[in-house]
Amino acid sequence: MRILLGITGGIAAYKAAGLLRAMSELGHEVTALPTQNALRFIGEATLEALSGKNIDSDLYGDVASVRHVQLGQEADLIVIAPATAAFLGRYAAGIADDLLLNALLASTAEVVVVPAMHTEMWQNQATMENVETLRSRGIRVMEPASGRLTGDDTGPGRLPEVEDIIEFLFASSPLTGKTVTVTAGGTRERIDDVRFIGNRSSGKTGIALALAARDLGAKVRLIACNLAQTPKGMDVTHVESVADLSAALQEPSDVLVMAAAVSDFQVTNPRKGKLSRSTVPELKLSSTPDLLAAYTKQFPESFAVGFALVDQEEDVINASRSKLETKGAKIVIGNSISSLEGSDTVVQYVEADTEAEISGTKDEVAREIMSRVAAQLS
């Protein structure tokens, strides 16, 4: 998930470093956007080191790229922590006098505000009215914690601990509390110790689906078939062959997304060592087991999502509906070979009685698929 972390000018700004690190370690892409006043409490170098990105809070910097709009439009989630009383007032009034407020007003992403201030400021009627105004617009406002404040004061107004903020951010996500297993990549079947039968799967679709499930709050287990790079924020099991994948699928899961390209054939007589060019082997092939059908039979309570890749001449919807019946899946995502190339794709989301076409980038399509799955589970 692409998260924009806004940091405003309060003493609790130093805690934003821990929040930035925590969200990054969960696998999210976090961009820190401190206000000019926030930089009085926390340094640019700290935020740059933790985010891996340059920090520039100048509204009039890089005007040609329309950065104030770009920051808001690219974010999937905007978190303001800490949010001062002054920020709450300007945001509630729709005042855009710095880069952060401009980005907020230019965005349609979900916004979470985490206030931090002295008790008297938090309980002031003006602050309370500003908070209610923001909540009435669909903005999530987290209640501050009670405890030691600046100086000798204690009471409500303290910035919550990082763990509590993380829980608040993601606890209400559609797949919170669900386990989602995603298979990605392509299996390989040995010919000898060097060569194999494989396929052209890059694993990009499977990874996009795993990220989408993670961003919706699920505990994700990614079974990576011959993938060198895998994302953060999920458990990863690396496998090579169909047999390895079958062994990895012996655990139940609330949702199984079978996006890996599983070989239909395996070599029954693999050779040891490396075959010589002068010796042309006669390969004997046998069919591999149907892993999706086996999984749904073993774990019928799991919500299984299968995939159907067909030739251009075949009817995608009919082929997908046929797999629904034979494999025990709840959903089959159908696409044709022509959709394999490029970053954009078109798929058919097929269930027992209905179907829908989903198009866009692989990331966009993955998010739409997982959102539909989450809606059906709820």
Find out whether 165 and 142 touch, Cβ atoms under 8 Å: yes
How confident is the model at residue 340, as a pLDDT?
A: 64
What residues of the chain score a pLDDT lower than 70? Answer: 57-68, 338-343
Residue 52 burial by CB count (10 A; 0-12/13-18/19+): exposed, middle or buried?
exposed
197 CB-near residues (< 8 Å, 6+ apart): 188, 189, 191, 263, 265, 266, 267
| CATH annotation of 179-377 | 3.40.50.10300
Partner residues linked to 287 by β-bridges: 265
Distance CA 304, CA 181 (A): 10
Of 262, 342, 345, 264, whose CA–CA distance to 307 is shortest? Answer: 262
CATH 3.40.50.1950 residue ranges for the chain: 2-170
Distance CA 6, CA 114 (A): 10
Distance CA 89, CA 86 (A): 5
How confident is the model at residue 172, as a pLDDT?
A: 73
Of 165, 36, 157, 164, whose CA–CA distance to 85 is shortest? Answer: 157
How confident is the model at residue 68, as a pLDDT?
A: 65
CATH 3.40.50.10300 residue ranges for the chain: 179-377
Catalytically active residues are 199
Residue 28 burial by CB count (10 A; 0-12/13-18/19+): exposed, middle or buried?
buried
Is omega for the bond preceding 144 within 30 degrees of 0, making it cis?
A: no
| CATH annotation of 2-170 | 3.40.50.1950
pLDDT in tens, 225-246: 999 998 877 899 999 999 999 9
Angle, helix 85-93 to helix 125-136, in steps of 10 degrees: 50
Distance CA 353, CA 358 (A): 17
Find out whether 248 and 226 touch, Cβ atoms under 8 Å: no
How confident is the model at residue 146, as a pLDDT?
A: 84
Find out whether 258 and 244 touch, Cβ atoms under 8 Å: no
Distance CA 199, CA 188 (A): 8
Of 293, 202, 237, 257, whose CA–CA distance to 370 is shortest? Answer: 257
How confident is the model at residue 60, as a pLDDT?
A: 61
Find out whether 206 and 283 touch, Cβ atoms under 8 Å: no
